[in-house]
Amino acid sequence: MEVKASATFQRVSPRKARLVTDLIKGKSAEEAIALLEHLPKGSALTIGRVVRSAVANAENNFNLTLENLYVKRATADEGPRMKRIWMRGRGRRDVKLHRTSHITVVVDEKES
């Protein structure tokens, strides 16, 4: 049974978050959590929280155990961009884009 959790409007670039989500796809839930705790990427903390949330949803709502779960899908989709003004020299300005992402993790039970 697929169980999912998501975190929306996270202040991390989707391109940087996809580097981390690609690492945990197909791994067991325990292995993914351990990997994310020790990964030196900024988005690993946020994605780790989403994985733990998906595991908690599976345990509390569907009576599944952590040992039988694996990460079926992990995606980092693009959210809205916040546009801010960045002042430059000689009275000019540029637009600075702060990208956000919607992170979704789907865990499923291993086939016995």
* Residue 73 φ then ψ, to 5°: -140, 145
Q: Where are the domains of the chain?
A: 3-109
74-98 residue pLDDT tens = 999 999 999 999 999 999 999 999 9
Mean pLDDT, the chain, rounded, equals 97
Going by C-alpha positions, the residue among 39, 42, 40 that lies closest to residue 31 is 39
CB 102 within 8 A of CB 8: yes
Please state the rounded mean pLDDT for residues 41-62: 97
Please give the Cα distance from 15 to 78 (Å, whole number). Answer: 9
CATH architecture of the domain 3-109 equals Alpha-Beta Complex (3.90)
| Neighbour-count burial for 49-73, b at 16+ CB within 10 Å, e otherwise | bbbbbbbebbeeeeebeeeebbbbe
CB 61 within 8 A of CB 3: yes
Structure confidence at residue 26 as a pLDDT band (50, 70, 90): very high
Please give the Cα distance from 6 to 57 (Å, whole number). Answer: 11
CB 46 within 8 A of CB 10: yes
